[in-house]
Amino acid sequence: MSEENKDDKTEEPSSRRIEKAREEGDIPRSRELTSMLLLLSGLLALTLCLPMSWQGMMHIVRYSWQFDLSHLNAHDWVPFSLDILPLSLRLFLPFGLSLWLVAIVANLIIGGINLSPKALQVKFSRLNPVSGMKKFYSAQTGAELLKSFLKACIVIVILLAILWVKQREILGLIHQPLRPALTEGTYGLVKLWLWVVMGMIPMVAFDVFWQIYSYHKKLRMTRQEIRDEHKQQEGDPHLKGRIRQQMRAAARQRMMANVPHADVILTNPTHFAIALRYQEDKMHAPQVVAKGRGQVAAKIRALASENRIPSLEAPPLARALWRHTEVGEPIPGALYTAVAEVLAWVWQVRRWRKVGGQKPERPLQLVVPAEMIFDLENDDDE
């Protein structure tokens, strides 16, 4: 049955499937890449630090050869430790820190950062000896053993080859003074180290490819799983309803932010509220910047009152604008005449508020064409 399930998984994993795997702590990693980068960084750090720390190393070696058991008495062991410890830290701490940083970065190259709380949880099921034995005899364990064997073979072959080629030079170090012998021997080890790293490159490249391939293969999905996931994410009526509700709330919030900038509010007077704005130098026609009915209309009227925006009861015009115009759209051409009368009254009100005098009369006979009239009683949205 498991073989049939594996054969059925022919579809590439979805983004949700990959995200869920990451939440569980399942991400691709390449141990071989980490090992090679550690060797390479160690080689680089040793090469850079060796010339600068040569005197310190010679001092430690010389100090160690002059070691006296009397230093271990109760009075002298502390000065002895304080003398040798700081020097050792200065020599080896940069080397150790560089390896520590590379070990962290190397694990982020494939798979990236994963700070999933689920991955950090203690799972006692991992302590099950039965499942542990199954993993021990799994194909993954066999592949890891094979890689370790090949890596050991590569190191041994490179080591034997270099010893065979350089045997005379290595034996000649015995007859050289201490400092030249140590210098030449150290750089010989660095070269050996470099050859080992170069020998690991093909295996590391294959391991990186294999880890990514096997990871995606493991996460492959059946067509039924694809359909179920699609239904769960996009077909869930509760999810879709919540998304629509959030979108409407965001749109309403943006619309309400436009109300303080409106020129006039047209009302039904209680059912509808339409906010109009006209900028002669930027708009070819007045625009509806907000509209609403019921509670939304009440909020529009309240905002208009707070910002001292003129409000006009014009039921036929307000209903026509509600039915035939959306927020952000210019008004229909058939309503130009009626809206022009309203805007003329608005400008008169603004002038009256500034200079005083007789209060402008509200326009009463606003003509709305028959084809634009909206009958509230036949409103399907009620």
**β-strands 272-277, 287-293: how paired?**
antiparallel
Look at residue 1 in the predicted model and tell me its pLDDT: 41
Query: CB of 185 within 8 A of CB of 50?
Result: no
Residues 22 and 9: their CA atoms lie apart, in Å, by 19
Q: What is the DSSP string of 230-298?
A: HHHHHS-HHHHHHHHHHHHHHHHHHHHTTGGG-SEEEE-SSSEEEEEE--TTT-SS-EEEEEEETHHHH
Per domain, the residue ranges of the chain are 2-64+80-120+130-224, 243-374
Fold of 243-374: name from scop (3.40.1690)
Q: How far apart are CA 112 and CA 118, in angstroms?
A: 16
Residue 3's pLDDT is 44
Q: 10 Å Cβ neighbour count for 134?
A: 11
Helix segments in 24-76, DSSP class H: 31-65
Distance of CA 7 to the CA centre of its chain: 33
Give me the pLDDT at residue 13, please: 84
Give the per-residue pLDDT at 266: 92
Q: Give the whole-angstrom CA distance, residue 196 versus residue 14.
A: 40
d(CA 312, CA 342): 8
Cα–Cα distance between 238 and 244 in angstroms, integer? 10
Per-residue pLDDT of the chain (382 residues; tens, 9 = 90+): 444 455 577 788 888 888 888 877 778 888 888 888 888 887 787 777 666 666 666 666 666 656 555 555 555 666 666 666 776 777 777 778 888 888 888 777 877 776 666 655 655 555 556 555 555 566 667 777 887 888 888 888 888 888 888 778 777 777 777 667 767 777 777 788 888 888 888 888 888 888 888 888 888 888 888 888 777 766 666 767 787 888 888 888 888 988 998 999 999 877 889 999 998 888 889 999 999 888 889 999 999 999 999 999 988 999 999 899 899 899 998 999 999 999 999 999 999 998 888 888 888 888 888 888 887 655 544 4
Instruction: Determine the pLDDT at residue 119.
Output: 55
Per-residue confidence (pLDDT) for residue 380, from 0 to 100 = 46
pTM (predicted TM-score): 0.47
CB within 8 Å of 34: residues ≥ 6 apart: 103, 106, 107
